[in-house]
Amino acid sequence: MAKNWLITGASSGLGRGLAERLLARGDGVAAAVRRPDALDDLKARHGARLHVVECDVCHVDAIRAAVAQAFAAFERVDIVVSNAGYGLFGAAEELSDAQIDRQIATNLTGSIQLIRAVIARLREQGGGRIVQVSSEGARIGYPCFSAYHATKWGIEGFVEAVAKEVGPFGIDFMLVEPGATRTNFGAGLDRAAPMSVYDATPAGEIRRALDAGYFEFADAAKAVDAMIAAIDSASPPFRLALGRSAYESIRATLVNQLHMLDAQKEIALSVMEPSG
């Protein structure tokens, strides 16, 4: 049975890949983008099954208007994919106030407001699925990505709580955590002006590695297929890691965190009030 989707950030990367695959199989897509003409080619091929809405997720009024248009275009929206976002690169000291504000407004506040805007509509229609495109960077930390990590750690905490709030209404969530993937993410990085004092630090090392392309990438088309297969399932995983770097980095981090927590057990329990 065909499904209807609302996808933000659908003009490129994983969002564009999702829209292309879903339209090709006969689903309906409401694509929220900053530049509606970016999807003219898909509109020409798929007609009314693609509903393009203009939306800058930095503005809550634009988000609410886009959501209203999407739900008006389709009798029912089955899946909402919160995908709009980008990366900010630079040591924390190097970042400008404006860069930090825009990163938070796009990746964190924009995602929060999108989710808030669709909850009542999904509840009223009897349920639905919300997919938040996050990152391996929601569970680990790399130098020069501090603000980006803050937004991804933040949105995952928000989703963890909201999923428990709306579960009784038939609304569930999935967090997608890609590692390095062959999309335009790297080309779209907002890069702070580098300070030479960081050249001989881990921040300088990762900057040189990024410039030299020393990363292993997942295939974007395969990542999209894996996302769709998981989203289509009756009981999708709450978190979906995609790519070798995501799986290995997240696993290593979790194992290390568990070891550190276990080592603190005596201290943790020592601060409890006497029982009885």
Residues with a catalytic annotation lie at: 134, 148, 152
| Tokens encoding 249 | 């980095």
Query: With the CA atoms of 30, 4, 226 and 162 taken in that order, what torsion angle do they form, in degrees rounded to the nearest 10?
Result: 90
Dist. CA 171–CA 79, nearest whole Å: 10
CB 184 within 8 A of CB 203: no
Dist. CA 130–CA 119, nearest whole Å: 9
Closest CA to 62 of 113, 2, 124, 112: 113
Dist. CA 173–CA 231, nearest whole Å: 9
Report the half-sphere exposure of 64 (CA within 13 A, side-chain side). 6
CB 64 within 8 A of CB 117: yes
Question: Both ends of the chain: CA-CA distance in Å?
Answer: 59
